[in-house]
Amino acid sequence: MAPLEVGDKLPIDVVFSYLPYDVKEDMELTPEEKQELICKAPEYYNASHEWADKKVALFAMPGAFTPGCSGQQIPGLKATLAKFKTQGYDTIVALTYNDPWVMQAWRKENGIKDEILFLTDVDTRFSKNLTWNEGDRTSRYVLLLDRCQVVHAVKEEDFSQVTVTSADNIFHQMQLLKEEAEQS
């Protein structure tokens, strides 16, 4: 498979892995309950199915707890989240190659519950199929999807940088797409 382009549909078999937010994370727990919560098995997330009727902004990043991702990308997503919603985006995704437990720890470290989905690109399969990977890591790219159809796709030339994939730039792109849709 080649990189997805505007107008392409997300393949029907896109599945990621994750540990969803659990309200128990915010409760006072016994040591046994904490252990049970920590040792939960990851769940599969069928993106092709879940996103069939949604607008999605997928932000793929090279790795959790890395300088560009933790220092720029996630704080930018958090700061821009409400603006994304004004453009009709239901689901915001942070995607890396890291395992679901690392992604869960990264989500918690950033004070995020379920407003951003932290998903694992298992074996970097999805990103490798797009050829948007850096070895075994995901590249830094963004896909804007409307009912699984690509409406915008952009990849950083240098995956250590956050420029064209910054939350502010993607919000601007969302505004342009909304204006185009209203004019047609």
- Neighbour tally for 29: CB within 10 Å: 13
Q: What is the pLDDT of residue 131?
A: 92
Give me the DSSP letters along 95-143.
EESS-HHHHHHHHHHTT-SSSSEEEE-GGGHHHHHHT-EETTEE-SEEE
Can you tell me the mean pLDDT for 165-171? 94
Q: What is the pLDDT of residue 36?
A: 77
Biggest distance spanned by C-alpha atoms of the chain:
58
Signed CA dihedral, 132, 135, 109, 14: sign only: positive
Provide the terminal-to-terminal Cα distance of the chain, rounded to the nearest Å: 31
pTM over 0.75: yes
Which of 14, 69, 153, 167 is the catalytic position?
Answer: 69
**What confidence tens digit (pLDDT) does each residue in 80-112 have?**
999 999 999 999 999 999 999 999 999 999 999
Q: What is the pLDDT of residue 1?
A: 61
The number of CA neighbours under 13 Å toward the Cβ of 64 is: 21
**What confidence tens digit (pLDDT) does each residue in 110-141 have?**
999 999 999 999 999 999 999 999 999 999 99
| 149-155 β-sheet, strand order | 43-46, 15-18, 117-120, 91-96, 55-60, 141-146, 149-155
User: Would you call 148 a catalytic residue per the annotation?
Assistant: no
Q: Considering the chain, what percentage of its residues have pLDDT values greater than 90?
A: 75
Tell me how many degrees the CA angle 92-5-48 measures, rounded to the nearest 5: 50
| pLDDT classification of 8: cutoffs 50, 70, 90 | very high
